Amino acid sequence: MLPQGTTNSLPEFQCCTTHTLQDEIPKNGGMFVDDVGLKGPTTTYEDTEIAPGIRHFVYEYATTFNHFLAHFIEAGITTSGNKLVLTMPRLHIVGTIISKEGWHLKHGLVSHWMQATLL
């Protein structure tokens, strides 16, 4: 929980976290306000296993996740286990839907706007 108001904590937090993750952003993830998102593999590699019981795309994602956590540990940043969501087939963020198929606007969001008129 960040203090709000005149402390400027949210922009400061985002600046510090972006600096901490500069080696990973934008290739492996990004920041939005006080959340960090990791990009998963864009393919399942046809479910090939790199070792018994370990699929290639799961290993790739776990490796990326490990890099993010290593940056946090090195910088002394604490993360919330309660807010942690490791995988999502589809994610709704600010009126958009993000999935392995790509980024799309949420249906019906723009169609309900009123027509602009001059005052």
Tell me how crowded residue 28 is: count the other CB atoms within 10 A of its CB.
18
Model confidence, pTM: 0.72
80-86 contact pairs (CB < 8 A, 24+): 83/35
pLDDT in tens, 21-35: 999 999 998 887 778
Question: In angstroms, how far apart are the furthest CA atoms of the chain?
Answer: 68
Q: Is 26 a member of any domain?
A: yes
Q: Is 46 a member of any domain?
A: yes
Q: Is 108 a member of any domain?
A: no
Question: Which residues span the domain enclosing 13?
Answer: 9-87
pLDDT average, residue stretch 52-60: 94
Q: Is 62 a member of any domain?
A: yes
- pLDDT of amino acid 97: 86
pLDDT in tens, 63-91: 999 999 999 999 998 888 888 888 888 88
- Overall number of domains in the chain: 1
User: Rounded to whole angstroms, how far apart are CA atoms 103 and 94?
Assistant: 12
Q: Is 54 a member of any domain?
A: yes
pLDDT average, residue stretch 85-111: 78
Q: Is 3 a member of any domain?
A: no
